[in-house]
Amino acid sequence: MKLWSVGLLLVALTIAAPAAEAAQGSYPMLRNAHSGRCLDADLNTITANGTKVQLWDCNGQNQQRWREAYDSPNRILSRRSFRCLDTDTSSNGANGGKVQLWDCTRSLQQNWYIDGQTIRTRYHGKCLDADLNTIGANGTKVQIWDCNGSPQQRWTLVP
């Protein structure tokens, strides 16, 4: 199994994109295969650590744009808040654990890698997952879960 860093995947997709898309491609959106909605930082809590990460209709706004952090590969940075995608350590890696935005550090709970179309945390190897109980609506909870290859765990980059 070949593991790709977030940066390598972003670079590969940006190079393949037409020039007009490449300018925005530096902060692509992440679309969920099950719902077609995009990874989104909740605007109601965006100014603080612990910002809720959810699925929302794709709209191209900055709260849906992500990139590799400049100073540390494998961290996923929000264009809107410049905080990093983070797994809440209080869940101890349990299925359903919270995914949030937090000030960027070099900690493992902010270290991610792409494995095919799944995004895994290096903290405990779980996958970024959309909660099936709420997946039909905006505001769907994004969580960590045992990797199983299901559509709610597959993500594609959208320029």
At 66-97, the pLDDT tens digits run 998 877 778 999 999 999 999 999 988 999 99
What pLDDT score was predicted for residue 99?
A: 97
Strands 118-121 and 112-115: antiparallel
What pLDDT score was predicted for residue 13?
A: 35
Q: Which two tokens stand for residue 54?
A: 């959810």
141-158 pLDDT, tens digit each: 999 999 999 999 999 999
User: CA distances (Å), 113 to each of 8, 11, 20, 81, in order?
Assistant: 10, 14, 27, 21
What pLDDT score was predicted for residue 44?
A: 95
DSSP element (H, E) containing 147: none
Domains of the chain in start order, with CATH, are 6-158 (2.80.10.50)
